[in-house]
Amino acid sequence: MVIVMLPDAEPEHVDAVVARVEAAGGQAFVSRGMNRVIIGLVGDVEEFSTMNLGRMPGVGQVTRVSTEYKLVSREQHPDRSSVYVRGVPIGPDTVTLIAGPCAVETPDQTLAAARMAQEAGATLLRGGAYKPRTSPYQFQGLGEKGLKILAEVRQETGLPVVTEVVTASDVPMAASYADMLQIGTRNMQNFALLQAVGEARVPVMLKRGMSSTIKEWLMAAEYIAQRGNLEIVLCERGIRTFETATRNTLDISAVPVVQRLSHLPVIIDPSHSGGKRELVLPLSKAAIVVGADGIIVDVHPEPDTALCDGAQALVHEDLDELALAVAELTAYTRRRPGRRRYSAAS
Amino acid sequence: MVIVMLPDAEPEHVDAVVARVEAAGGQAFVSRGMNRVIIGLVGDVEEFSTMNLGRMPGVGQVTRVSTEYKLVSREQHPDRSSVYVRGVPIGPDTVTLIAGPCAVETPDQTLAAARMAQEAGATLLRGGAYKPRTSPYQFQGLGEKGLKILAEVRQETGLPVVTEVVTASDVPMAASYADMLQIGTRNMQNFALLQAVGEARVPVMLKRGMSSTIKEWLMAAEYIAQRGNLEIVLCERGIRTFETATRNTLDISAVPVVQRLSHLPVIIDPSHSGGKRELVLPLSKAAIVVGADGIIVDVHPEPDTALCDGAQALVHEDLDELALAVAELTAYTRRRPGRRRYSAAS
Amino acid sequence: MVIVMLPDAEPEHVDAVVARVEAAGGQAFVSRGMNRVIIGLVGDVEEFSTMNLGRMPGVGQVTRVSTEYKLVSREQHPDRSSVYVRGVPIGPDTVTLIAGPCAVETPDQTLAAARMAQEAGATLLRGGAYKPRTSPYQFQGLGEKGLKILAEVRQETGLPVVTEVVTASDVPMAASYADMLQIGTRNMQNFALLQAVGEARVPVMLKRGMSSTIKEWLMAAEYIAQRGNLEIVLCERGIRTFETATRNTLDISAVPVVQRLSHLPVIIDPSHSGGKRELVLPLSKAAIVVGADGIIVDVHPEPDTALCDGAQALVHEDLDELALAVAELTAYTRRRPGRRRYSAAS
Amino acid sequence: MVIVMLPDAEPEHVDAVVARVEAAGGQAFVSRGMNRVIIGLVGDVEEFSTMNLGRMPGVGQVTRVSTEYKLVSREQHPDRSSVYVRGVPIGPDTVTLIAGPCAVETPDQTLAAARMAQEAGATLLRGGAYKPRTSPYQFQGLGEKGLKILAEVRQETGLPVVTEVVTASDVPMAASYADMLQIGTRNMQNFALLQAVGEARVPVMLKRGMSSTIKEWLMAAEYIAQRGNLEIVLCERGIRTFETATRNTLDISAVPVVQRLSHLPVIIDPSHSGGKRELVLPLSKAAIVVGADGIIVDVHPEPDTALCDGAQALVHEDLDELALAVAELTAYTRRRPGRRRYSAAS
């Protein structure tokens, strides 16, 4: 059961609801979003139904949710949501292109990649300062130094920044530099990290675990939401299967499936799915027409010397074709490009 | 190593090549296609290279192929092929829609479904007379009676017929009714069946095994080709993974991957991939823009009473939207609809 | 619902039951086993329950079975079954070792391998005359010539023969040479083949499909049983997963799981599971103590020149250790070796 | 390349090696184990080979390692290692039984479960104070309060304690209560956590990621080793596959495969693999004879009220049979039970 408080609900209204639920032997999880407080109830639903919670002061709406994920479910919130990253929308009305280097290596490389991203039509810059790598002997990212480079490149280009966090204790620092925090596939069930970004004041991109079911993915989003951050974008990036011809198997069906179950936006990462440059363009096209709310792609000015995943990064020659495909197919879907609107800017 | 004979090569030219290869300790597999003979060589390639096979009478071209699949590889045949089913093309210049009922149940149901197929823009009719079912207690198809119904509906509608075969001994009979024979996912490595359709005089649609790698799929096609039938269309229909939210996981990346490795056309079955009606339209769109040479979908006039897979069959209300999407996205891909051209009709 | 007829039931008793079921709108599948007739009913179970089928002449027992597989379910037949291959038992009281070459290549190689099998304690000889291979350019087996070699080696050694069939039309011929027919992993859902061995008069070994669920495997066994052959042994041989360190992933848990669901014996193939010689011994040990009713292993006198799967074949040096492990662990499980007893010999 | 320093090497000897490697453009990772320092070198191996590193003061041995994992590879350390948990060995000479409740709930429940563990022959107590759960609405563990309960129960029973950590920042605190820290399957690639336990002064049990390859698992162990903690025990607990009859698919072959690649001990968790009480005993038997260095099982005094995974916990009635099987099969493997020896006690 989920209670959505009115926008002008007072803290004592929230406390009163919590107290009544606990008095009835239930648990109440308070989620303080940017413009609404939501309370998830766990316990005896029949009992709750007899308690007239809907008439308590400050309560807007009481919804019975049958799924295990509550705050992120579409049952609770039938309209699909938009998330704004420094005013750049990701949601049902737009197709948003996010691009940038897999890893931040140098200021020059990052700026060059950001310029490439803009050339392709991207309105958000991706770039990793913390890289979770299979081997401890591989490049692990520049850390805070990388975050500073990203902030400088944002200054230069105007592109808001999306970057990965890998440890709960780094979240506040990373949030002070970046505009959106990414949870990578290996950390989708790092619950301490999910809770940390749930308490951050910036939107979150939650990549699907490479062998997580859609339900587990939504439960991971619920961990974030439950801590008060409802600004979550889901990202399908390929799952692990027996097939080795591609790095991962892009589960393109996940987009329409998730959109029926959850109100959260969902985007596709064609670069990590296929793991090969030549697959990025066809998979990007498929992503847009299947209904994804955006795509996130790797670009690199000199992929042969990239410290991370060079084989899947787009190069200069690919950008025009990508830009054209995104523009044409966005039009086909009757959406608009995911650009900041002056009225919506934060 | 692959030898393509000239169109006017005589049988004795072929015999001479075979004899020389065998004299050198190799094996020669003769593949008599509709308008060319191809000979696949297995053995010591270095030795073959010294034998001047290219100068023997009737020999057109000698190609060294590094992959294990030879006749179906793109190395051997750089241009992508078109396959014609009673004049209806499936190949790189067209997007062909194949539609019909999962199973042939009655003449009325089949005709109604064929009319639905035409309404959606389909130019080929699918329909199953032999149904491989997990349980022996499920409907197994009407057998030859079903094939007769299909032939009658073809007469009525003009739609060439695609139908599944499940046993080698049924192939000649099925080929006498149908215009294209389908090998289903469970039979992708039923090698006796592959060889039987390899000897048939009609095109073959080879569905991917639900847990077969792309390489195994191409090797299965090679079995067919090696028996002389090069008129093969590959069909991706979803693979088995850990995810249970969909019936199978559509491996959409398989289309561009296969098109780089093989010259054969490749289509997508969005109905069996997702297993749910509401996924068919988004997956069909994705299929077309990712570059598939066609799609094959289930339609049924009354899916609630369908004897097979009703949950995934499109209904009347879905057809306009499908037809529109196929038309618009076919135009986007700069291809034309997969219709019979009078000049190409057989 | 399943009806087990009395041993002395007359054909007209069976016909009467079928007629009554069909009159009530149901379907009756008659299964003529070696010493009992079983009738599987499909339709309205509530209706059947009111029909007093248990009192009809010749009817022994009427069981309501809740699973989709009926004849092979343990609900229907609570005692686990033994299958006898020319008198050699495979079942709950024994641990039976089956060994031999992956493929029959020559009389000498086959006889040498049979001697190795005996040395290791095997009481059944395996050997393939028809080899389903991923590539059409690989050795496909000697066919009937191979079956003759196997029959000669049986003559020489006294070991009953287990061999694979791959096509329905070959079944009667193969059954005339061999003592047990094997259905390989790629053919587990080749339903025509299942039905053909279901009509054969010899026991069947049904290997699990490499990506089949346990339920699908039992449904495949039901196809065989439904045609009247209840002498079925299941064989777990590894499933396809993302792990590439082994050829397949042995699903050892399948043994206790299957034994709770079905009365059929179940054995393990450690050679094809791991795909490596050094894994055969540890996996064989695990198989016996987990409760498998037998194991089937590849042996080869000269594995380096084997035409099929040499890397996984045991060699002379391995045999003593295998024999000792099988003997000791068979004793541990309080079973006896799977040897023919004179009293039980057929 | 790996350098093992002599036991009496001085810190300046280590510094000198590092300096020389870095001067040659390489990287040196210093791993300070409990009784030896190991230095992993990354860079130009040919160059290193010419540098006479073996003759530098304090250097014991220089090994060229071809695998990506170095410190944990068997190439580097041909003898299989034993790890001691407060004197209790886990390694090639013993079979160690670890048992206890999935989650610590109350002092009474924990003590009762510890008594059950002892009754079954366990010499280490497992118990979770931090539980990573798919849903944020499930019991998440008692945290530090749970660790205190475990420490009290150790006092009472003498059983050293194994417990899971889920966040890097909790590691020092958890290490102050527990004798071995466990990394759970969802955190196998939580690299910050791996590095944190790599710096702890207690042994680590590293569970395999549910969809991690064996190579990725060894690379995760390398992350721990590289930070100086070589006291690592690997634990196979089932992988995710398409099969749903069991909670996970126990990859029993992983044990012999890992033991050839790495010198680290490896144990099996039959409780989480199968997810069902009735599978624990057969899988435990299989684990021991396949060569596992131990097993870890869930026990619970009242599984019906367990807050976590009650369905897989052994109950009182199961203990005798487990104890007997472990004893008999440990004897079969010519190993001894994993008990503390007075001479080896820490």
Instruction: Considering only the beta carbons, identify the residue of C211, C257, C273 that sits closest to D253.
Output: C273
Q: What is the 3-state secondary structure (H, E, C) of A255-311?
A: HHHHHHHECCCEEECHHHHHCCHHHHHHHHHHHHHHCCCEEEEEECCCHHHCCCCHH
Give the pLDDT mean for A92-118.
Answer: 97
The CA distance from A201 to A34, in Å, is 8
The CA distance from A192 to D103, in Å, is 18
**Residues of chain A neighbouring C244 (CB-CB closer than 8 A):** 244
Interface test with C, best of D253, D271, D283 (most C CBs within 10 A): D253
Condensed to tens digits (0 to 9), the pLDDT of residues D208-236 reads: 999 999 999 999 999 999 888 999 999 99
Is residue D35 over pLDDT 90? no
Integer angstrom CA distances of residue B30 from B15, B40, B262: 9, 7, 19
Rama region for A87: left / alpha / beta (φ>0; ψ in -120 to 50; rest) = left
Sheet holding C59-63, edge to edge: C27-32, C37-42, C2-5, C59-63
**Bridge partners for C195 per DSSP:** none
Instruction: Kindly give, in sequence order, each residue whose CB lies less than 8 Å from that of residue B53, ignoring residues fewer than 6 positions away.
Output: B3, B17, B20, B21, B59, B62
Share of chain B above pLDDT 70, in %: 98
Residues C146 and C152 sit within 8 Å (Cβ to Cβ): no
D195 close to C (CB below 8 A)? no
Predicted local confidence at residue C26, as pLDDT: 86
Q: Which of B141-145, C159-163, C304-308, D313-317 has the lowest mean pLDDT?
A: C304-308
D134 close to A (CB below 8 A)? yes
B342 close to A (CB below 8 A)? no
Q: In the structure, what pLDDT confidence band is assigned to residue D181 with cuts at 50, 70 and 90?
A: very high
**Residues of chain A neighbouring D241 (CB-CB closer than 8 A):** none
Give the pLDDT mean for D195-206.
Answer: 95
Is residue C344 over pLDDT 80? no
Is the sign of the CA dihedral D274, D278, D284, D285 positive or negative? negative
- The total number of residues shown for chain C amounts to 346
Domain C83-337 top-level CATH class: alpha beta
D289 close to A (CB below 8 A)? no
ipTM reported for the complex, 2 dp:
0.91
Place of tokens 């860079």: D43
**Residue ranges with strand state E in chain A:** 2-5, 27-32, 37-42, 59-63, 83-85, 88-90, 94-100, 124-126, 161-164, 180-183, 204-207, 232-236, 266-268, 294-298, 336-337
Domain ranges for chain C:
2-63, 83-337
- Are residues C253 and D241, on separate chains, in Cβ contact within 8 Å? no
**Residues of chain A neighbouring B290 (CB-CB closer than 8 A):** 282-283, 285-286
Q: Which of C169-173, C215-219, D40-44 has the lowest mean pLDDT?
A: D40-44
Regarding predicted confidence, which is higher, C156 or D60? C156
Across all residues in chain C, what is the average pLDDT?
Answer: 93
**Vertex A188, ends A83 and D128: CA angle to 5°?**
135
* B positions 159-178 inside 8 Å of C (CB): 166-169
Beta strand A204-207 with A180-183 is: parallel
Closest residue in B to D248 (Cα–Cα): B242
The CA distance from D36 to C297, in Å, is 44
C216 close to B (CB below 8 A)? yes
- Are residues B240 and D240, on separate chains, in Cβ contact within 8 Å? no
Share of chain C above pLDDT 70, in %: 98
Q: In the structure, what pLDDT confidence band is assigned to residue C345 with cuts at 50, 70 and 90?
A: very low
The CA distance from B218 to B232, in Å, is 11
From the number of C-beta atoms within 10 Å of its C-beta (0-12, 13-18, 19+), residue A46 rates as exposed
Which chains does chain B touch, 3 or more C-beta pairs < 8 A? A, C, D
Predicted local confidence at residue A344, as pLDDT: 45
How large is the angle between the packed helices D254-261 and D277-290, nearest 10 degrees? 40
Instruction: Considering only the beta carbons, identify the residue of B29, B136, B167 that sits closest to C168.
Output: B167
Q: How many CA atoms lie within 13 A of B71 on its CB side?
A: 33
Predicted local confidence at residue A68, as pLDDT: 84
Is residue B115 over pLDDT 70? yes
Distance from CA of D222 to the nearest CA of B (A): 28
Q: In the structure, what pLDDT confidence band is assigned to residue C342 with cuts at 50, 70 and 90?
A: low
Give the pLDDT mean for D191-205.
Answer: 95
Predicted local confidence at residue D346, as pLDDT: 42
Predicted local confidence at residue A38, as pLDDT: 84
- Are residues A241 and C240, on separate chains, in Cβ contact within 8 Å? no
From the number of C-beta atoms within 10 Å of its C-beta (0-12, 13-18, 19+), residue C36 rates as middle
Instruction: Considering only the beta carbons, identify the residue of D42, D132, D187 that sits closest to A137.
Output: D42
C71 — phi, psi (to 5°)? -65, -30
Q: In the structure, what pLDDT confidence band is assigned to residue A346 with cuts at 50, 70 and 90?
A: very low
D242 close to B (CB below 8 A)? yes
Structure tokens that stand for B338 in this block: 């997969």
Residues C108 and C102 sit within 8 Å (Cβ to Cβ): no
Record: fold of B2-63 = Alpha-Beta Plaits (3.30.70)
Give the pLDDT mean for C162-173.
Answer: 95
**Residues of chain D neighbouring C244 (CB-CB closer than 8 A):** 213
**Residues of chain C neighbouring B169 (CB-CB closer than 8 A):** 168-169
Q: In the structure, what pLDDT confidence band is assigned to residue D319 with cuts at 50, 70 and 90?
A: very high
Nearest to B300 by CA among B166, B126, B124, B135: B126
Nearest to A42 by CA among A60, A24, A57: A24
Give the pLDDT mean for C163-189.
Answer: 96
Q: Which of A26-30, C101-105, D6-10 has the lowest mean pLDDT?
A: A26-30
Instruction: Considering only the beta carbons, identify the residue of C27, C136, C223 that sits closest to B223.
Output: C136
Nearest to A20 by CA among A43, A34, A6, A35: A43
- Are residues C211 and B210, on separate chains, in Cβ contact within 8 Å? yes
**Residues of chain D neighbouring A139 (CB-CB closer than 8 A):** none
C243 close to A (CB below 8 A)? no
Interface test with A, best of B217, B253, B277 (most A CBs within 10 A): B253
H helix or E strand, kind and range, residue D282: helix D277-290
C251 close to D (CB below 8 A)? yes
The CA distance from B259 to B77, in Å, is 12
Closest residue in C to A241 (Cα–Cα): C242
Place of tokens 């009544």: A20
Beta strand C180-183 with D27-32 is: unpaired
Superfamily of domain D83-344: Aldolase class I (3.20.20.70)
The CA distance from B221 to C128, in Å, is 24
Structure tokens that stand for D190 in this block: 């939580």
Condensed to tens digits (0 to 9), the pLDDT of residues C241-273 reads: 999 999 999 999 999 999 999 999 999 999 999
Instruction: Considering only the beta carbons, identify the residue of A245, A260, A329 that sits closest to B214.
Output: A245
Determine the 3-state secondary structure of B217 from DSSP: helix
Determine the 3-state secondary structure of D342 from DSSP: helix
Instruction: Considering only the beta carbons, identify the residue of D40, D137, D226 that sits closest to A42.
Output: D137
How large is the angle between the packed helices A107-119 and A316-332, nearest 10 degrees? 40
**Residues of chain B neighbouring A244 (CB-CB closer than 8 A):** 213
Distance from CA of A106 to the nearest CA of C (A): 36
Instruction: Considering only the beta carbons, identify the residue of A211, A240, A242 that sits closest to C240.
Output: A242
Closest residue in C to A249 (Cα–Cα): C242
Nearest to C211 by CA among C248, C181, C245: C248
From the number of C-beta atoms within 10 Å of its C-beta (0-12, 13-18, 19+), residue A34 rates as exposed
Instruction: Kindly give, in sequence order, each residue whose CB lies less than 8 Å from that of residue A248, ignoring residues fewer than 6 positions away.
Output: A210, A237, A238, A239, A240, A241, A272, A273, A274, A275
Condensed to tens digits (0 to 9), the pLDDT of residues A189-238 reads: 999 999 999 999 899 999 999 999 999 999 999 999 988 899 999 999 99
DSSP state of B232: E
Is residue A74 over pLDDT 50? yes
Structure tokens that stand for C67 in this block: 């699973």
Interface test with C, best of D248, D290, D328 (most C CBs within 10 A): D290
Is residue A345 over pLDDT 50? no
User: What's the N-to-C CA distance of chain A in angstroms?
Assistant: 32
Q: How many CA atoms lie within 13 A of D155 on its CB side?
A: 8
**Residues of chain A neighbouring C242 (CB-CB closer than 8 A):** 211, 240-242
Is residue A291 over pLDDT 70? yes
Condensed to tens digits (0 to 9), the pLDDT of residues B28-74 reads: 888 776 667 888 888 888 888 888 899 999 998 888 887 888 899 99
Q: In the structure, what pLDDT confidence band is assigned to residue C346 with cuts at 50, 70 and 90?
A: very low
Is the sign of the CA dihedral A84, A88, A93, A94 positive or negative? negative
**Residues of chain A neighbouring D134 (CB-CB closer than 8 A):** 189, 216, 219
**Residues of chain B neighbouring D209 (CB-CB closer than 8 A):** none
**Bridge partners for A181 per DSSP:** A163, A204
Nearest to C303 by CA among C321, C319, C324, C287: C319
Is the sign of the CA dihedral C38, C42, C45, C47 positive or negative? negative
Instruction: Considering only the beta carbons, identify the residue of B244, B288, B289 that sits closest to A213.
Output: B244
Rg (CA), chain D: 20
Distance from CA of D126 to the nearest CA of B (A): 29
Is residue B345 over pLDDT 50? no
Across all residues in chain B, what is the average pLDDT?
Answer: 93
Instruction: Considering only the beta carbons, identify the residue of D211, D240, D242 that sits closest to B240.
Output: D242
Closest residue in C to B137 (Cα–Cα): C42
Predicted local confidence at residue A342, as pLDDT: 62
A44 close to D (CB below 8 A)? no
Predicted local confidence at residue A296, as pLDDT: 98
Write the single-letter amino acid at D202: V
Which chains does chain A touch, 3 or more C-beta pairs < 8 A? B, C, D
Which chains does chain D touch, 3 or more C-beta pairs < 8 A? A, B, C
Give the pLDDT mean for D286-303.
Answer: 96
Q: How many CA atoms lie within 13 A of B195 on its CB side?
A: 14
Integer angstrom CA distances of residue D314 from D109, D120, D236, D280, D296: 14, 10, 19, 8, 12
